A and B are shown apart, each in its own frame.
Chain A
Amino acid sequence: MDSNLAEKPAAAMPETGSVRPRLPIRALLIRYGFLALLAGLIIFFSHATRGFASPQAAVFILQSVSITGILALGVTATLVVGGFDLSIGSIATSAMMAAAYVMVVLEQNALVAVLACLAIGALVGLINGIIICYMRVPDLLATLGMMFLLIGLQRIPTEGRSIAAGMTMPDGSTAQGAFSPAFLALGRHRFDLFIPNLVPAAVVVLIVLAVLIWFFLEYTRFGRMMYAVGSNARAAEFAGAPVKAYKIWAYVISGMFASIGGILLAARLGRGDIASGNNLLLDAVAAALIGFAVLGAAKPNAFGTAIGALFVGVLLQGLTMMNVPYYTQDFVKGAVLVIALVFTFALLGRNGR
C-alpha cells in the first residue's frame, strides 16, 4: 500500500482538477501579503506622524471601527452560508431609533431598551431568512427591500423627527423620559488598561464579539455546517444538514449583530439621530469583503473581517493625521476594497460570489 502511495503522486490528475505547484514566494505573498501590508502601514504612519504610535491612537482607531466592525462580523455569517445582507445598516439605525424611543418616549430603563433592540435585530433577521429560504427571493433583493422598509419604518413613530430628551411629540406634548446613564455608559465608559480610562466599552464589545464569532465559525459544528452550506448546499443537504435552517440562523445572527451596533451608536450619540449611520452598510460590507484576502482565505472568515475593519481604520486615521482631507476617505476605502477583491479573485483564482 505504501509503495502504491509513493509511486503515483499526482499521476492521475484529472484534466480539470490539477493544480500547478506554486512558487513558495507566491504562496507566502498570498498568505501573508495583506498582514504584511497592514504592518507596513502601521510602521509607516508611526514614523511619518507624531502620536500615531501611542496607546491612545490605537484605542481611537479601534473605537472608530467598533460599530462597523460589529456589523461586518454579522454580515460575515451571511456570506459564509453563501448569502448577503444589505439590511444591516438600516437594522442598526432602526435599533438606534428604537433604543431612543423606548427610553425617551416610553420611559423605560436601559435593560428594556437593549432587549428591545436585540429582539428587533433577531426578528428582522428571521424575516429576511424566511423570505430568502421559503419565498425564494434572491438574497440581495430581499435584504435590499428590507433595507428600504426599515429606513421608512424607523421614521413613522416620531413622524420623521430625531429623538432626544425633552423633544416635542407629534401631539404637542413633551417627552418625559431620558437616556439612562447605564445605557450611555455603553458608549462613553472607558475601562482602565495600564492607563486609566483607556479602553471604551464599544471596543470591548467589538473584541468579545469578534472572538465569539471567530470561535463559532471556526471551531463549532454549527459554524462548520454553515460553511458547508455556503460551499456546496446540495452536498450539505445530501449529508443530512437542514440547509434552510442554517441559512435562516445566519440572517438572525447578522440581524442581532447589526442591532448591537445600533445600540452602541445610540449610546455614543445619546440621541436617536435620524441622519446618522449612513455609511454603516458600505463600510461593514467592505470590511467583510476585504477579509477574503487575509491569510489567502478566499472565503468569508471572522478573522479576516476583523483585520479588514482594522485595516480601513488604520489607513483613515493615519491619513487624517497626515492632514489628508476628510473628503478623500470614501475614495481610499473604495480603492482598498477594489485592490483586496482583485487580490482575492485574480491571484487566488477562486470565483466565489
Chain B
Amino acid sequence: MADDAIFRIAGLGKAFGPNAVLRGVSLELRAGEVTVLMGANGAGKSTLVKVMSGVHHADGGSMQLGGNPFAPATPAEAMGAGVVTVHQNIDDGVVGALDVATNLVLDQLNAAGQGIFFNPRSIRRRAREIADRMGLELDLSAEVADLSLADRQMVAIARAMAHRPRVMILDEPTSSLSSNEAERLFTLIEHLRAQGVAILYISHRMSDIRRVADRIVSLRDGRIVGRFEDRPLDYEGAVNAMLGRSLGPRNITSKAATQPVFAAEGLQLVSGALPFSFELGAGEVVAVVGLVGVGKTRMAETLFGIHAPVDGQMRLDGRPYAPANPAVAIRDGVFLVAKDRAKTGIVPDFNIYQNMSLPFLRRFSQFGVARRRAERAAARRQIADLNVVCRSERDEPATLSGGNQQKVAVARWLSQPSRMLILDEPFQGVDIAARHDIAAKLRESAADRATLLFLTELDEALETVDRMLVMSEHTIVGEYLNREGDIDRLLADVAGGGRSAA
C-alpha cells in the first residue's frame, strides 16, 4: 500500500547538540491524501517540518520524493523540487504592504530573468490565473494588511500553489483562525486534495482533524508511535498515542483538600464559551488538562487578573476576588508561573537573585532601597531547595539550562507564601530530572495553599497532581481523581469524544 507514496521518509534522525529531537522517523505521504501529524509540544513536529522544507539538515536517514532522493540544502531548493510549506505564523507568508495580486506573484517577481520594470497589467493577469485555479474569491487590488487572517492565509497558500507542488505541509494552519475561517481553509484543502497534492497537516485541534484527516500519525519523543489508517479513524487511539500512557507505577498518594480556598461560579472566559464552576482546596494539587488552544492560558491569566472574565464570580477564602491586574492578584496571594518563561517570566538582564525577588522587591526593600543581602540569602535558599544547577545566585539566566531557568521561574513564586499558586505549562522545555524536582517541590510545599497546574501532557499531570479538570473549548468538561479507572474516561474527554459544545 505504501508503494504509491509520493514522499517517503525513512529512519530520519536529527539532534541539536546532545539533544536528540528526531530518533528515526519513518513516514509516507500519498498523493491526494491528507495525512495528519499529531504530537505534543516538544515531540519534534516542527523539527520534522524544518528538515522536510530544507531549513535543517538531517543527521541520518533518508527522504525520497517521487522515487528520487530528496535532500534540500535550502528552503528554496525544497520549494523548487515541489515540497511547499505554509508556516504557522501567517504573516511570514505574505507582505502586508502590497496588494493581493502582487503577493500572489511575488516569487515570480524575484525569479531570475525578470526585467527591472514590472507591468501591472501582466501581474494582474498572472495573479488572476492563480486565484482562479485555487477558487480564491478575493479582490486582487486589496492590500493584504487589510485582509482578515484567514484571507491572508488563503493568499499564502495560493501563492505556494503557484509552484504546483507535489507535497504541501500545513503547520498548524488554523491556530489563529475562527471556525468560519477554518471552514474556508478546509474547502481549499479539499480542492488541493482533488488536484492530487499530498498534504501533511499538523494540528492538535480535534475538530480540524476529524474534518480533514484521511489518516493520522502520532509523533512522540521523536518517533512515530502510532499510525491510524482504517476507517473509521481511531481518534482516541491517536490522542492516546500522542500523549503516551507509557506510565510506570505512579507514586502519587492522592490527597484530598483540607479546606476550600478558591471557588469560581459560572465563570465564562470568552464570549460564546459555556460557563463553568469549580473549587480548589488547600493541600491539593489540581491540573487543568486539555489540548493546545482550548483556553488553558486564557483561564490561567484570567485567574491572575490579566484578563477580565466575561461573566461569573470568583471567591478567595470566602471573599469576593476580582483582580483588576496582576499586582492586585499578587497582593491577594494569587501567584502565576506564566507559560513561556522567556517572554513572560525571566528578565534576561537580571541575574538569578534579581529575577527571584522581582515581584516581591517591596518586601525586600527598606525606604525604597533594595536590601541585596536579604535578596541573595532568599535566592540561595531557593537554589538549594529546588536544586538549581548554577555557580552562584549572581549567575545570569542565559547561562542556565532550560530546566534550571524554569526552576528559577518557579522558585520566584515559591519564595513567598501564597493562597493559590497557578502554573501554566511549568514543564515546557524542561528535562525529566528538573521536572521531577519541580513536581516534588510543588507537592511538598502544597499544604497551605491551593495549587493549580495547566498541562497539555497527560503524563505530567498523572505524575504530579491529585485531581484533574478537563478543558475543552474554553470550558471545563469533566473532573477526575488521579486514580486508575478514571483515566480512560478522561482520555475520551480530552479527545472531545461525543462532545461538540458551542
Given contacts A12-B431, A235-B346, A239-B359, contact A220 B389 (CB under 8 A): no
Chain A proximity of B68: nearest CB distance (Å): 32
Whether, in the assembled complex, A134 has its beta carbon less than 8 Å from a beta carbon of chain B, the answer is no
Over the window 381-413 of chain B, the binary record of Cβ atoms lying under 8 Å from chain A Cβ atoms (1 yes, 0 no) is 000100101010000001111111100000010
Q: Is the CB of B350 within 8 A of A227?
A: yes
Given contacts A235-B346, A240-B327, contact A221 B387 (CB under 8 A): no
- Bound-complex Cα distance A62 to B354 (A): 34
From 89 to 144 in chain A, residues with beta carbon under 8 angstroms from any chain B beta carbon are none
From 211 to 231 in chain A, residues with beta carbon under 8 angstroms from any chain B beta carbon are 219-222, 224-225, 227-228, 230-231
Over the window 228-268 of chain A, the binary record of Cβ atoms lying under 8 Å from chain B Cβ atoms (1 yes, 0 no) is 10111011111111100000000000000000000000000
Cβ contacts under 8 Å, B306 to chain A:
238
- Bound-complex Cα distance A285 to B348 (A): 24
- With both beta carbons as reference points, the residue of chain A lying nearest to B328 in the complex is identified as A240
Q: Is the CB of A13 within 8 A of B401?
A: yes
Q: Is the CB of A220 within 8 A of B350?
A: no
- Bound-complex Cα distance A19 to B327 (A): 34
Over the window 70-81 of chain A, the binary record of Cβ atoms lying under 8 Å from chain B Cβ atoms (1 yes, 0 no) is 000000000000
Q: Is the CB of A231 within 8 A of B370?
A: no
Over the window 1-35 of chain A, the binary record of Cβ atoms lying under 8 Å from chain B Cβ atoms (1 yes, 0 no) is 10011001111111101110000000000000000
Cβ contacts under 8 Å, A221 to chain B:
361-362, 364-365, 368-370
- Bound-complex Cα distance A238 to B335 (A): 9
Whether, in the assembled complex, B500 has its beta carbon less than 8 Å from a beta carbon of chain A, the answer is no
Binding site for B on A (CB under 8 A): 1, 4-5, 8-15, 17-19, 219-222, 224-225, 227-228, 230-232, 234-242, 299
From 17 to 33 in chain B, residues with beta carbon under 8 angstroms from any chain A beta carbon are 17, 19
Apart from A14-B429, A236-B347, A238-B304, list 12 A-B contacts with CB within 8 A.
A4-B389, A15-B19, A17-B405, A221-B361, A221-B364, A235-B343, A235-B346, A238-B336, A240-B325, A240-B331, A242-B327, A299-B349
Whether, in the assembled complex, B122 has its beta carbon less than 8 Å from a beta carbon of chain A, the answer is no
Q: Find A239's partner among B326, B384, B387, B402 (CB 8 Å cutoff).
A: B326
Given contacts A224-B370, A240-B327, A242-B327, contact A19 B398 (CB under 8 A): yes
Q: Is the CB of B370 within 8 A of A238?
A: no
Chain A proximity of B110: nearest CB distance (Å): 28
- Bound-complex Cα distance A157 to B329 (A): 50
Most buried by B among A10, A19, A225, A240: A240
Cβ contacts under 8 Å, A227 to chain B:
347, 349-350
Cβ contacts under 8 Å, A18 to chain B:
17
Cβ contacts under 8 Å, A11 to chain B:
389, 401
Binding site for A on B (CB under 8 A): 16-17, 19, 304, 306, 325-327, 329-331, 336, 338, 343-350, 354, 358-359, 361-362, 364-365, 368-370, 384, 387, 389, 391, 398-405, 412, 429, 431, 433-434
Q: Is the CB of A4 within 8 A of B399?
A: no
Cβ contacts under 8 Å, B350 to chain A:
227-228, 231
Chain A proximity of B425: nearest CB distance (Å): 14
Cβ contacts under 8 Å, A239 to chain B:
326, 330, 358-359, 412
Q: Is the CB of A232 within 8 A of B402?
A: no
- Bound-complex Cα distance A268 to B434 (A): 63
Give the 6 A-B CB pairs with smallest separation, nearest first: A231-B349, A239-B359, A240-B327, A12-B401, A240-B330, A15-B16
Cβ contacts under 8 Å, B304 to chain A:
238
Most buried by A among B304, B361, B431: B361
- With both beta carbons as reference points, the residue of chain A lying nearest to B17 in the complex is identified as A15
- Bound-complex Cα distance A241 to B326 (A): 8
Chain A proximity of B237: nearest CB distance (Å): 33
Most buried by A among B304, B326, B348, B358: B358
Chain A proximity of B299: nearest CB distance (Å): 15
Cβ contacts under 8 Å, A230 to chain B:
349
Enumerate 28 A-B pairs (CB-CB under 8 Å) in ascending A order: A4-B387, A12-B404, A12-B431, A14-B19, A14-B402, A14-B429, A15-B16, A220-B368, A220-B370, A221-B362, A221-B364, A221-B365, A228-B358, A230-B349, A231-B348, A231-B350, A232-B343, A232-B346, A234-B344, A235-B343, A237-B326, A238-B306, A238-B338, A238-B344, A239-B359, A240-B329, A241-B358, A242-B325
- With both beta carbons as reference points, the residue of chain A lying nearest to B405 in the complex is identified as A17
- Bound-complex Cα distance A12 to B407 (A): 13
Cβ contacts under 8 Å, B365 to chain A:
220-221
- Bound-complex Cα distance A8 to B336 (A): 29
Q: Is the CB of A17 within 8 A of B343?
A: no
Cβ contacts under 8 Å, B17 to chain A:
13, 15, 18
- Bound-complex Cα distance A224 to B16 (A): 36
Q: Is the CB of A1 within 8 A of B387?
A: yes
Q: Is the CB of B401 within 8 A of A17?
A: yes
- Bound-complex Cα distance A225 to B344 (A): 15
Q: Find A238's partner among B326, B401, B431, B434 (CB 8 Å cutoff).
A: B326
- With both beta carbons as reference points, the residue of chain A lying nearest to B404 in the complex is identified as A12
Chain A proximity of B354: nearest CB distance (Å): 7
Q: Is the CB of B400 within 8 A of A17?
A: yes
Most buried by A among B306, B343, B359, B387: B359
- Bound-complex Cα distance A239 to B401 (A): 22
- Bound-complex Cα distance A5 to B402 (A): 16
- Bound-complex Cα distance A299 to B349 (A): 8
Cβ contacts under 8 Å, B331 to chain A:
240
Chain A proximity of B300: nearest CB distance (Å): 11
- With both beta carbons as reference points, the residue of chain A lying nearest to B363 in the complex is identified as A221
- Bound-complex Cα distance A234 to B329 (A): 16
- With both beta carbons as reference points, the residue of chain A lying nearest to B429 in the complex is identified as A14
- Bound-complex Cα distance A136 to B293 (A): 29
Q: Is the CB of A232 within 8 A of B326?
A: no
Chain A proximity of B386: nearest CB distance (Å): 10
- Bound-complex Cα distance A284 to B101 (A): 48
Cβ contacts under 8 Å, A242 to chain B:
325, 327
Chain A proximity of B84: nearest CB distance (Å): 27
Cβ contacts under 8 Å, A17 to chain B:
398-402, 405
Q: Is the CB of A241 within 8 A of B327?
A: yes
- Bound-complex Cα distance A14 to B389 (A): 13
Most buried by B among A5, A224, A234, A236: A224
Chain B proximity of A279: nearest CB distance (Å): 31
Given contacts A5-B389, A13-B401, A221-B362, contact A240 B326 (CB under 8 A): yes
Q: Is the CB of B369 within 8 A of A219?
A: yes
Q: Is the CB of A235 within 8 A of B347?
A: yes
- Bound-complex Cα distance A227 to B362 (A): 15
- Bound-complex Cα distance A353 to B327 (A): 28
Given contacts A232-B346, A234-B343, contact A225 B401 (CB under 8 A): no
Cβ contacts under 8 Å, A231 to chain B:
347-350
Chain B proximity of A207: nearest CB distance (Å): 21
